[in-house]
Homo-oligomer: A and B are copies of this chain.
């Protein structure tokens, strides 16, 4: 079987297998053997390509964060108008991208989040991502409200997004992405309404 140029293929296989294994039995029982079996390779190959289990887990988390940021920036670059509402809306939409919220990636993300409390490397990755989200939100809010208000709006919306995400990952039925987006957008409307911004044309209900 050995051909040249297997490395990128195996890396992708193993990262996907890691998410599948964590989705299946959780991080604690996602052993190298189980992950390798998912990818259809032997256990030893993990150390060969990732230096060890920790390297594979780190690479998997990087992949998830990369995908998430990609989903967000794609939507932001596709915007027609440059209003803060549009940008923040795109951030919300990106966070609730179907590929992110459904399936193995969501549970893997939550598992890593919890694990990052005591693993410095994961914590670092988490922090960088958190700060980017906060900074982006803050920058947009500051264009329509004072700085102190913008900071609180950014923190509130970030908490709302995470809360919806986490509840979605935990409910056995999985996240109702539409409802989550609805709640986040309405919260955004409420935050902006206090500063004289018009709500969107559609979806002006109260909840």
Which residues does A use to contact B, with CB under 8 Å?
A: 25-29, 107, 110-111, 113-119, 123, 126, 145, 148-149, 151-153, 155-156, 158-164, 166-167, 169-170, 172, 179-180, 182-183, 186-187, 190-191, 194-195, 205-207
Query: Are B118 and A26 in contact (CB-based, < 8 A)?
Result: yes
Given A107-B117, A113-B114, A156-B183, the answer on whether A166 and B166 have CB atoms closer than 8 Å is: yes
Interface-central residue, A118, A164, A191, by most chain B CB under 10 Å: A118
Copies of this chain assembled into the complex: 2
Question: CA of A169 to CA of B119 in the docked complex: distance in angstroms?
Answer: 14
Say what secondary structure dominates the interface of chain A.
helix
Query: Are A156 and B160 in contact (CB-based, < 8 A)?
Result: yes
Question: CA of A123 to CA of B167 in the docked complex: distance in angstroms?
Answer: 12
Q: Which residues of chain B are within 8 angstroms of A118 by Cβ–Cβ distance?
A: 25-26, 28-29
Query: Are B113 and A117 in contact (CB-based, < 8 A)?
Result: no
Given A156-B187, A159-B160, A160-B163, the answer on whether A170 and B116 have CB atoms closer than 8 Å is: yes
